Amino acid sequence: MIIALWVAVIALWVLFFATALALLALYRHFGQMYMGLPEQKIAQGPELDSALPSLALTDTRGREVLLPAPQPTAIVFASTTCTFCTEIREVLSAPPAIAEGVELVVFCSGPRADVTAWASRTADSVHVIWDSKERLIEKFEVNGTPYAIAVGPESRVRAKGIINGLDGIEWAATQARAVAPVSIPAGVEEIRIEERVAR
């Protein structure tokens, strides 16, 4: 009798945890669907053509980072818990040639030790900044990672969008350097001023 009772209690706990995990998975799934809506993509990030706010930060290697920088800048928002951000980090371990002359700055959230380990696999030219308590991602009104903001040498936001992998980094760097906006490659979801009317 006692054994049967214990078996029933354990079964109930297993069922409870399985249900909780399923609910969390559904919450994440519907959250991603919600953030994938065009309206939500447009709502994310700073306004296009707005001035980048002035920030004085320190990266994980102890270097001072001043924003806006005098040169074109690509700001990437990442997280140590983001699966897609792993691919971004691999790209940043050897940034593409198109990113030469572009300041690459990553705001990475997660435990400090994890962010430092994450940053250690990136190139020395990349500035990874620990986003403590996600204050920077909130400041820039970004709701999901990986995300990028392209800033021109005039310190204004030229483009923004959800990115992934090499194409995303190349797109952000190209947008930051370009005299005029360029078309976006497959696999990158860009938000532009003219798209607000189209959508």
Q: Where are the domains of the chain?
A: 2-35, 40-198
Give mean pLDDT, residues 57-72.
95
Q: Looking at residue 184, what is its pLDDT?
A: 47
- Annotate the chain with three-state secondary structure: CHHHHHHHHHHHHHHHHHHHHHHHHHHHHHHHHHHCCHHHHHHCCCCCCCECCCEEEECCCCCEEEECCCCCEEEEEEECCCHHHHHHHHHHCCCCHHHCCCEEEEEEECCHHHHHHHHCCCCCCEEEEECHHHHHHHHCCCCCCCEEEEECCCCEEEEEEECCHHHHHHHHHHHHHCCCCCCCCCCCEEECHHHHHHC
Whether the pTM exceeds 0.75: the reply is no
Say what percent of the chain tops pLDDT 90: 55
Q: Looking at residue 83, what is its pLDDT?
A: 86
Provide the CATH topology of domain 40-198.
Glutaredoxin (3.40.30)
Give mean pLDDT, residues 100-110.
95
Which pLDDT band holds residue 178 (cuts at 50, 70, 90)? Answer: confident
